[in-house]
Every structure is written in C-alpha cells, then in structure tokens.
Chains A and B, each alone.
Chain A
Amino acid sequence: MVHKMISDRDDASDLVQEVFVNLYQSIEKEVVIEHPRSWLYKVSIHKCIDFTKKRQKHENIELFSQLKDEDNPLDNNEKKAVVRLALNRLTNDESMLAILYSEGLSYKEIAEITGIRFTSVGKTLSRTLTKLGNELKKLKYELY
C-alpha cells in the first residue's frame, strides 16, 4: 500500500519501518489499539501524505520526464508514471481512498481508516473512481 503512494521503494521501506517503530512505541506506552490492521493503514497513510507533501512537485517533474513519446503506446514504466501522475492530481483524501479500495478493504475498514461516514463511503468512492478514471484517460492511459 505504501509503495502505491511512494514511488521510490527505499523511501517506502523506510516509511513502513517508521510505522512499525510507532506501533512498538505505542505498545510500550500501553496504548490500546483496538483494530491493529486499521491502525497500521491509518498511520501509514498519514506518513505517506506527510512525505508526499514535501516532494510532490519534484516527483511530478520526474514522472513527466519518464513519458517519452505521447504517440506511441505506453511501456510498463510509463504506465506506472501515468498512474502516479493521475493519483497526484487527486486530493490526498481521494488518492488515499482509491488506494485503500485497491487493497480490497471493506467499506467498514475504509470508514475506520479515513474517517468518512460509513453510509457515505459508496458515494465518495464512486466519485473518486470516476475522477481517477477521467484523469487516467486524459493522460492517454487505456482503461478499457
């Protein structure tokens, strides 16, 4: 999940390590974590958002530079760059929602992690997916 938000694998690994250090510290301080899975997702997402805020502009330039020729079909690296660019064009909450959805989480878990009301998850998700689909199409990504 972290690697979906952070393109660099080493940075993603560092963030995951930080998350587990936080978990360890919370356990040491005897903090009660009711849903560890949701807790790990939540902390990871916030760390990813903090991280991307610092370097999103720089990353977008890098991603654009990876797109060589607009006329030719995209190779695998270009496809990844396009998906990341499209994700970066969403708000943090939207990209977080789309990624959690791609992880196969239930609406209940998504609501717990994101703070969206359970009854609104479907609607928010539907709009987010449509927006992401449109962004991908704008970047010439063949969805279907």
Chain B
Amino acid sequence: MNCIDEQLLQKYIDGECTELEITEVKQHLSVCPACTRRLAEGEKLSAEIKRALNFLTIDEIEIPAFRNIKTRSVNRNINLIIYSLSAACILLFVLFIVDNEIMPNQNEITIVQSIPLEVDANRPASDQDFVIEIYDGKGQRSEYFVK
C-alpha cells in the first residue's frame, strides 16, 4: 500500500477530505507508523504556523507596575490635616494666653469725627466747624467743636 501523499495528508489535517478519502487515510494510518508520525508532525506544524501568524496581530497592552497610589495619598492627606490642626490648636492656645496675660482688657477710647454735610470744599478747612465725638471705655460720649 502506497503511503499518503503530502496533498492528501494536508487535506486530512485541514478537514478538506471527502468521506472516501477519510476512510482511505484512516485505513492506511492504522498500518503505517511512518505516516502516523508524519500526520502528527504536520498537525503540529500547521497549528504552530497559524499560532505564529496570528500572534502578529495581537496588540501588547502595557500594564504599568501596580502602585497603591490612593492609599498613600489618603494617608499623606490625613497626616497633613492632623499636623495642620495640631499646629492651629497650639497657635490658638498661645494667642489666648498672650491675649489674656500680656495684653489684658483695657478701657477703649473711640474717637469719631463727624463732618457736617454742608461743608464747602472751596473754603479752607480752618474756616469751617467740625465736631469730634469721643466715647470712653464706659460708653460716655463727649463732643468737641473745632472752629
């Protein structure tokens, strides 16, 4: 019995044989170890060539190295907030002490200068009347007329 030719063997590998050809090939393979070996090699070669050619169209997606950025930034932010709040608390505490001990409350004097509406801008200031109101720490009001 003649061995399977390369045309028929390739057709068999690719499923292109007729029913009759398939029967013939199977019968021959059952008695011919050399053709069985050729078939196995041919199947491997066909599969590998397809795989190699299809590999050309696979796009490589570059995945950057994993870094837990969120966790780190959250920790940093929390630390920053804690430090800022601590600093603000200390500053407020110091200001409160300084305000109470070094600069104790004192009676304020408020001076309010009122300018009458009928001021004539064309006349010298020395010719016009001005009123100066002074409030002392107890809220008492004093008026001074300047002529």
Contact = CB atoms under 8 A, between A and B. Distances in A.
A123 B7 contact: yes
Interface of B: 5-11, 14, 16, 42, 44-46, 48-50, 52-57, 60
Nearest to A86: B52
Interface string A83-126: 11001000000000011011010110000000000001011011
Contacts of B55: 76, 79-80, 83
What band does the interface of chain A fall in when counting residues whose beta carbon is under 8 Å from B?
20 to 34
Given A122-B7, A122-B14, A129 B52 contact: no
Interface of A: 3-4, 7, 76-77, 79-80, 83-84, 87, 98-99, 101-102, 104, 106-107, 120, 122-123, 125-127, 129-130, 132-133, 136, 141, 143-144
A98 B48 CA distance: 12
B57 A99 contact: no
A122 B16 contact: yes
A3 B49 contact: no
Nearest to A104: B50
A37 B50 CA distance: 20
A129 B56 contact: no
A129 B45 contact: yes
A123 B56 contact: no
A129 B54 CA distance: 14
A5 to B, nearest CB: 9
A60 to B, nearest CB: 16
Contacts of A107: 11, 14, 16
Nearest to B52: A83
11 contacts: A4-B53, A79-B55, A83-B56, A87-B53, A101-B46, A102-B49, A122-B8, A122-B10, A126-B6, A143-B44, A143-B45
